């Protein structure tokens, strides 16, 4: 692994604040990834996604933007979550809590047997996790469409496992499911809620509607009623 150079992270000057760049340098210095191998993958609604190598193996670096995220939306969703009772309306602390919630939700989903990237480490607004793909990142199902109903059944099975783990994704759609060797992998868990919150039922219904609508559009026919029954049946 090459020796980290602070100048490398200064190339992120127009993207991330000084505090985030210092944390990236510290993580790299401690061997969590090789800074010379950082490569951009995508710019999301609230975070930038990069790949990098650790001991020759690719990992994902997800960095939540402090200055250009939808802070008010994040705060409104977090204050509804009983796991964050002492949250104050401080931008950096809110973004850190948002990233922490994704880290916790990924662990919880994984423990429930849901197919998700393994979370490795979190430092404030920086999340390191498993790279899903081979040489290139796996594509979202909007870009690499499933070809049969088996894939849909695997999606529903993962939704059921998530529900049994007392978690609801809350933003599940063709944008947040990867197609990895014809099997689904769920991603983006920062908005996910525990099933006993007052908003969970509404979020689950939205997930069910999104999945039903997408698969029907690609001629894999299903219904919301069928999906709901499979997820919630005892």
Q: What is the pLDDT of residues 171-182, one digit of tens each?
A: 999 999 999 999
Helix/strand/coil for 78: helix
The model's pLDDT over 75-124, given as tens digits with 9 standing for 90+, comes to 777 877 778 777 777 888 888 888 999 999 999 999 999 999 999 999 99
Nearest CA to 176 out of 129, 131, 127, 143 is that of: 143
C-alpha separations of 53 from 6, 34, 222 in Å = 18, 6, 40
Q: Which of 111, 143, 171, 196 is catalytic?
A: 171
Q: What is residue 104's predicted lDDT score, i.e. its pLDDT?
A: 95
The answer to whether the beta carbons of residues 211 and 176 sit under 8 Å apart is: no
65 vs 31 pLDDT, higher one? 31
Question: pTM (2 decimals)?
Answer: 0.90
Q: Is the pLDDT of residue 18 over 90?
A: no
- The residue ranges of DSSP E strands in 67-166, in sequence order, are 119-123, 126-130, 139-140
Cα radius of gyration (the chain): 18
Catalytic pick among 76, 188, 196, 219: 188
Cα 9 from Cα 198, distance rounded (Å): 42
Task: Return the SS3 of 82.
Answer: coil
Residue 143 annotated among the catalytic residues of the structure: no
7 pLDDT higher than 60: no
To the query of whether residue 188 is one of the catalytic residues in this protein, the response is: yes
**Contact (Cβ atoms closer than 8 angstroms) between residue 66 and residue 91:** yes
Do residues 110 and 118 touch, judged by C-beta distance below 8 A?
yes
């Amino acid at each position: 692994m090459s020796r980290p150079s602070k100048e490398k992270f200064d190339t992120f000057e127009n993207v991330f604040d000084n505090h985030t760049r210092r944390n990236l340098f510290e993580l790299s210095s401690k061997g969590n990834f090789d800074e010379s191998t950082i490569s951009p993958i995508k710019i999301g609604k609230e975070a930038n996604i990069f790949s990098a190598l650790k001991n020759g193996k690719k990992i994902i670096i997800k960095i939540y933007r402090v200055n250009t995220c939808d802070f008010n939306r994040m705060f409104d969703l977090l204050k509804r979550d009983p796991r964050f009772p002492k949250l104050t309306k401080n931008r950096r602390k809110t973004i850190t809590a948002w990233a922490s919630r994704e880290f916790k939700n990924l662990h919880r989903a994984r423990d429930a047997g849901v197919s998700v990237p393994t979370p490795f480490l979190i430092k404030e607004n920086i999340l390191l996790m498993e790279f899903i793909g081979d040489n290139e990142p796996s594509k979202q199902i909007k870009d690499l469409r499933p070809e049969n109903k088996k894939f849909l059944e695997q999606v529903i099975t993962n939704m059921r496992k998530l529900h049994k783990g007392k978690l609801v994704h809350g933003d599940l759609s063709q944008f947040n499911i990867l197609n990895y060797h014809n099997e689904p992998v769920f991603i983006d868990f920062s908005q996910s809620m525990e099933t006993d919150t007052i908003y969970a039922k509404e979020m689950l219904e939205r997930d069910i509607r999104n999945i039903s609508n997408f698969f029907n559009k690609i001629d894999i026919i299903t219904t919301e009623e069928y999906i709901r029954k499979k997820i919630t049946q005892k």
